[in-house]
Chain A
Amino acid sequence: MIPRDPLLEVRDLAVSFNTEEGSVQAVDGVGLELRAGEVLAVVGESGSGKSVTAMTLMGLTRGPNAAISGAATFEGTELIGADDEELRRIRGNRMAMIFQDPMSSLDPVYRVADQIVEQIQAHRDVGSAEARERAIELLDAVGIPAAAKRADSYPHEFSGGMRQRAMIAMALSLEPSLLIADEPTTALDVTVQAQIIELLRGLNRDRDLSILLITHDIGVVAEIADRVAVMYAGRIVEYGTLDEIFYDPQHPYTWGLLGSLTRIDRPRPRRLPQIPGMPPSLLAPPQGCHFRPRCAHAFDRCLEVPALESRLADTPSHFDRCWLEPARKRELREVGDQGALEEPR
């Protein structure tokens, strides 16, 4: 693949929220780069900051209790400092977002097509008939059967998977270049999930739609991502291509995440590898590396925060935040039989 210019560049993004119990550092120095036409997956567990990162890009975390700093440039426009008017022009138009629960985007009392028409007419100077035609085209494109007929259904008349498709159609209605998908398949049955992944993959391939995928499911990541950022307790701990993350993971948290995966095509291991303990409270995160208290390989130096940087000579685009020597990591991975998948023949 020929590298293209970054469509979205996030630098040193930090988001904290004031709560009754104190300040919560939800996002702590996140940097990302999404090139046009790529699928970048941000993977992490609850509280890792992945959704807050995505919502901040859309301007959805602004408020009196939020402190946001850093920079995020999208198609040459700075998002973090943008005023509301500017954001409104970009949001929905150049970048759109879909969520786990389609009913967060669909209004239950309006027909599906009417909602798409409204969205198109809010941003574009087109007549109702043309907008409706466009809405039906979109519903058809996302795989709603008999779209012309189903267009006048209400959201509750759709199944969960169809609603997800309708939400995607609405997100695509203004032909954005970037789709932010926050856990788009988490609430779906596995067969429907496979269809939605296939749909997203098709949109990425055929319409050159760039996708920022937020998910906790590393299986979904393997199916669709080009590049992966692994987040833990507000920070990116590892960042690389899909294959780098799966076949040469550098951070012990990534090892744990890959190790705790279950497989349907392998006999059961005696015990599922587990990461001990729990993620830290972001009210009082541990000093240094946030994963330190759960890490079996932590040593003195881990009390300092490791920078997210390239530590491997042969793969300079592969970044991690871990003080262990790369050679030592390979050793540990082999001894502990953790993480990294075997290179297939």
Chain B
Amino acid sequence: MSPAGEPLLEVRDLVKHFPSGSGLLFNRHADGIKAVDGVELTVAAGETLGLVGESGSGKSTLCRAVLQLVEPTSGSVRFEGRELVGLRPRQLRPLRRQMQMIFQDPQASLNPRRRVGQIVGGPIRLHGLASGAELRRRVDELLDRVGLSPEHYDRFPHEFSGGQRQRIGIARAIALKPKLIVADEPVSALDVSIQAQIVNLLDDLQDEFGLSYLFVAHDIGVVRHIADRIAVMNEGRIVEQGTADQVCERPVDPYTKKLLAAVPVPDPRESRARREGAGQ
């Protein structure tokens, strides 16, 4: 955490309800669905906040509400002290350069008809920061930085493996030198050996560019590795927040304890000992 000064991102009492209408299927939630229900969190400059929770806990909606990709029902999202909630699209646009997102499924988030160079260079071109040979040079640099090569410039996303596609998504996300990256399950769809590569890449980029991450994952092991602090989300609320060591080693909230107890222990003897301890 940054020792002093205001956090890069400050979320206060953020609420996002989805109206349910009176549909037959959704009448269980007559008041609408409270996907995000009063969330408070901060991310300091250069810090990684890990957000864990199970499906339906509201993690992804929270990410989108933070980036104003969905409009929050109420609450406040401050970025470098500036309130984002209620800004008009035109006012948001310059701020979007500072906040980028990486998705779980790079296949779905990369336009299949565009070449890698166009995808990665798109944000630079759109913001009018470079064109022509300069644009090409910057894209080549980005590709190199994420472990791809300039020869990949003219290829299409489907020609790449899952791990390489995630590298393309990362290159695009860092193209505008943002301060904050919201990563929604960025390694969940990848094989373990590739997961480690991507996690290490994100670590390196953070050191190099002083990035802050809001890193969402259901895999607590990965979050423990990458995060400075962890927030645990359940049913739209943050039930526990603390340093990664605190949350993983001395959890307080019953839901956090349940979540941690369910994670498989990748060590047979420990796993057996735990089962015997539980009387099974």
Contacts and interface: CB of A to CB of B under 8 A. Distances in A.
A268 B243 CA distance: 12
A161 to B, nearest CB: 11
Contacts of A191: 54, 258-259, 262
B111 interface: no
Contacts of B208: none
Contacts of B162: 46
A190 B263 contact: yes
Nearest to A344: B269
Given A190-B220, A191-B54, A246 B268 contact: yes
Given A194-B262, A272-B225, A274-B200, A265 B191 contact: no
Contact of A264 (B161, B194, B263): B263
A243 B248 CA distance: 26
Contacts of B222: 262
B192 A243 contact: no
Nearest to B264: A219
B267 A217 contact: no
Residues of A contacting B: mostly? loop
Nearest to A262: B221
B244 A222 contact: no
Q: Interface extent on B, as a size class?
A: 35 or more
A269 B197 CA distance: 14
A305 interface: no
B218 interface: yes
A216 interface: yes
A45 B192 contact: yes
Given A264-B224, A265-B248, A271 B203 contact: yes
A261 interface: yes
Interface string B253-277: 0000011111111111111000000
A263 interface: yes
A197 B191 CA distance: 21
Contact of B224 (A46, A260, A268): A268
A275 interface: yes
B225 A268 contact: yes
Residues of B contacting A: mostly? helix
A98 interface: no
B195 interface: yes
Contact of A272 (B200, B259, B260): B200
B55 interface: yes
Contact of B270 (A194, A216, A271, A344): A344
Given A190-B259, A264-B220, A272-B225, A246 B267 contact: yes
B196 A264 contact: no
A242 B54 contact: no
A70 interface: no
B249 interface: yes
B33 interface: no
A278 B221 contact: no
A267 interface: yes
Contacts of B196: 260, 272-275
B245 interface: yes
Given A190-B262, A222-B268, A264-B260, A275 B193 contact: yes
B55 A274 contact: no
Contacts of B225: 262, 268-269, 272
Contacts of B191: 45-46, 216, 279
A277 B6 CA distance: 41
A260 B219 CA distance: 14
Interface in A19-70: 45-46
A98 to B, nearest CB: 18
A193 B200 CA distance: 27
A257 interface: yes
Interface in A273-288: 273-276, 278-279
Nearest to B222: A262
Contacts of A344: 267, 269-270
Given A242-B268, A264-B224, A341-B267, A45 B193 contact: yes
A306 interface: no
18 contacts: A45-B193, A45-B194, A46-B162, A160-B55, A189-B54, A190-B220, A194-B261, A198-B280, A219-B221, A222-B268, A246-B268, A256-B193, A260-B193, A264-B263, A268-B244, A271-B203, A272-B225, A344-B269
Counting from the closest, the 4 A-B pairs by CB-CB distance are A262-B221, A219-B264, A45-B191, A274-B196
